[in-house]
Amino acid sequence: MHKHGLHRRAFFGWLTVGWVAFSAALGGFLSLVFRYTYPNVNFDPEMDFIAGNPDDYDEGVDERWKNGYGVWIIKQEGKLVALSNICTHLGCIPNWLPAELKFKCPCHGSGYYMNGVNFEGPAPRPLERYKISLNSEGRVVVDKTKIFRYEKGQWDHPDSFIEV
Amino acid sequence: MKELVNTLSDPKYSFTGVIIGFYLFMKYYRTIGTVKFFISSMIIILGVFIWMMQDPNFHAIIVWPDNVPIVILLFAVIFFTWFSIYKAAINDARIEGGETPVEGSVENREKVWTWPNLVYTELMAGTLCVVILVIWSIFLKAPLEEPANPTWAPNPAKAPWYFLGLQEMLVYFDPWMAGVVLPGLIIVGLIAIPYIDTNPKGNGYYTMAERKVAMGGFLFGWLALWVYLIIIGTFLRGPNWTFYGPFEVWDFHKVVAEANVNLSEFFWIKGLGISMPSNIFLREIVGLIVTTGYYVGLTLLCNRSQLGSSLMKSLGKIRYYLLILLLLTMGLLPVKMYLRWLFNLKYLVAMPEFEFNL
Ligand code: FES
């Protein structure tokens, strides 16, 4: 019975302690790994921003907010809209080609008209539009948390454009 | 001449060429699997390659540090494919003559110890790899680019080379299909091979004649649908993912008119001349019927055929239908590519409302 210097009960006691310690260590490690997947500093662009005055914009595509905020402001047919610069195919960043008057995605070649509607390549639906409005001082405010999708008929929504 | 090569390398011609070539390859594998054939075709291939390298545009693509390893790998693919065919051709001739395959001959059945025979070979191979990697890293600089920027993408934006086949596939399919469903099926299908394929023939020795269907199916998926697409994606896709022939300048402003149309638009607007019905399922009814027809019809056709019924018998129902399902889904890729090239067809079934497009 005492050959190994350890009672059956004590053995199971140690076994439990061992397993608990192991699971705790593993749990701690996994939680560290999980924490590691979140960035310490977030470089994502702001979700809403003030984009100058409505009459800052000429007819056509304006690229000044593209690099900072990922938004094209487009003035067309008396409307000012905020177009997302994320390809609806797989999320690359298309380029505006002024000579061809279209957006063209470098990843798989999707093309969009100036108003954001897709016409070539694999993109399944038009680019998304963001909420755009005027604040009390008459400045343009773009809010990227609110999205308007063409195929759901949301581009008629009053928040999706400003009349100019 | 260069013009001709540029035109012919357009996917709709070159892929057709690949299919025809593949058919000839399967048919005349005994001729192809000879040393004489290999050496003479290698001389031709290298000659053509050197001729092509004289062109500054082609030269620029080939010596781009990202692409050098791919060129080396392509030659490796050619060699190893030929090598397996070579071995298979020898074995098939032996089997026909009533002998055992080379691997089964008496002198080859002798067993040796893992240590030192295998371990030494592995050590040597490992050392060689390290040497090559060191030399490589000295001579080819890593093509580093500027820091990542979430609101800007390089043009063309290319995946790592081993994913370029997948990226090329994405041109023809919805991201959900080409990015998740099809690659998932490729992986699941490869894992499933040993469970579906219970035919003991070809285990442990090279053969073609005994396993024509299996070899043909696998090699087609590998060479025509994977390697070929990697070649296109790596060497022949330039800015805006536009197609450029091997001797063409990567002109950022090359215009290609490729307005794509969904099958539903073909049917309702161009065919019947009326506007599209608002009910989604009614709108996509043709595509749904065609897709179901493709799967069900071809399955029935297979069941009818001689090969199909003999497979059904040897595999059993479940395995047989799994195999057909996987093969038909693989076939979807070339079918879809041709539909795009010939009719500018975008999607057979287009339901962006449910993120389902085929
Ligand atoms: S991500 Fe834009 S075309 Fe694929």
Claim to verify: residue B319 and residue B355 sit in the same structural domain: yes
Q: Are residues B214 and B277 both part of a single domain?
A: no
Same domain assignment for residues B231 and B261: no
Whether residue A90 lies inside any domain: the answer is yes
Q: Give the best residue of B146, B151, B255, B260 to mutate against chain A (max A CB count within 10 A).
A: B151
Q: pLDDT band at A3, cuts 50/70/90?
A: low
Residue B74 lies in domain: 1-101+205-256
Cβ pair B350:A43 closer than 8 A: no
Residue B108 domain flag: no
Look at residue B24 and tell me if it is in a domain. Answer: yes
As a whole number, mean pLDDT of residues B170-194 equals 88
Q: Domain for residue B250, yes or no?
A: yes
Q: Nearest 5°: CA angle at B284, between B282 and B290?
A: 115
Residue A96 and residue A139 in one domain: yes
Over the stretch B100-142, which tens digit does the pLDDT of each residue have? Answer: 899 888 888 888 899 889 999 999 999 999 999 999 888 888 7
Is A119 inside a domain boundary?
A: yes
Whether ipTM tops 0.90, in short, is: no
Is residue A43 in some structural domain?
no
Separation between Cα atoms, residue A129 and residue A114, nearest integer Å? 12
Same domain, A56 and A124: yes
In-domain check, residue A86? yes
Domain membership flag for residue B283: yes
Measured CA distances, B344 to A72, A126, B259 (Å): 29, 18, 7
> DSSP string of B197-252?
----TTTTS--SGGGHHHHHHHHIIIIIIIIHHHHHHHHSB-GGG-B--TTS---T
Q: What is the pLDDT of residue A1?
A: 47
pLDDT tens by residue, B321-356: 999 999 999 998 999 999 988 888 888 888 877 777
**pLDDT per position as a tens digit, A130-162:** 999 988 888 999 998 889 998 888 888 888 888
Whether A32 and A79 map to the same domain: the answer is: no
- Whether residue B75 is found in the same domain as residue B209: yes
Sequence-distant (6+) residues with CB within 8 A of B267 are: B286
Q: Which residues of A touch B153 (CB under 8 A)?
A: 92-94, 106-107
Q: How many domains does chain A have?
A: 2
CATH number at residue A70: 2.102.10.10
Which of the four pLDDT bands, split at 50, 70 and 90, describes residue A4? low
Q: Which of A103, A110, A112 to mutate to test the pocket of ligand 1 (most atoms within 8 A of CB)?
A: A110
Residue type, A91: G
Tell whether B149 is covered by a domain: no
**In angstroms, rounded to a whole number, what is the distance separating the alpha carbons of residues B9 and B246?**
8
Question: Are A124 and A148 contained in the same domain?
Answer: yes
CB-CB under 8 Å, B153 with A124: no
Q: B152: closest CA among A88, A105, A91, A93?
A: A93
A111 and A56, same structural domain?
yes
B197 in a domain, yes or no? no
Residue from the list A93, A120, A151 with its beta carbon closest to the beta carbon of B152: A93
Task: Based on the fold, state whether residues A31 and A59 are members of the same structural domain.
Answer: no
Q: Based on the domain organization, do B47 and B84 belong to the same domain? A: yes
pTM here is 0.82
Domain housing A23: 1-38
The residue ranges of DSSP E strands in chain A, in sequence order, are: 48-50, 60-62, 71-76, 79-84, 95-97, 102-104, 111-112, 118-120, 129-134, 140-148, 162-163
Give me the number of domains chain B comprises: 3
- Do A65 and A33 reside in the same domain of the chain? no
Residue B323 lies in a domain: yes
B216 part of a folded domain = yes
Q: Is A70 in the same domain as A146?
A: yes
Do residues B216 and B269 share a domain?
A: no
Q: Are residues A70 and A111 in the same domain?
A: yes
Query: Would you say how long chain B is, in residues?
Result: 358
Structural contact between residues B268 and B276, judged by C-beta atoms closer than 8 angstroms: yes
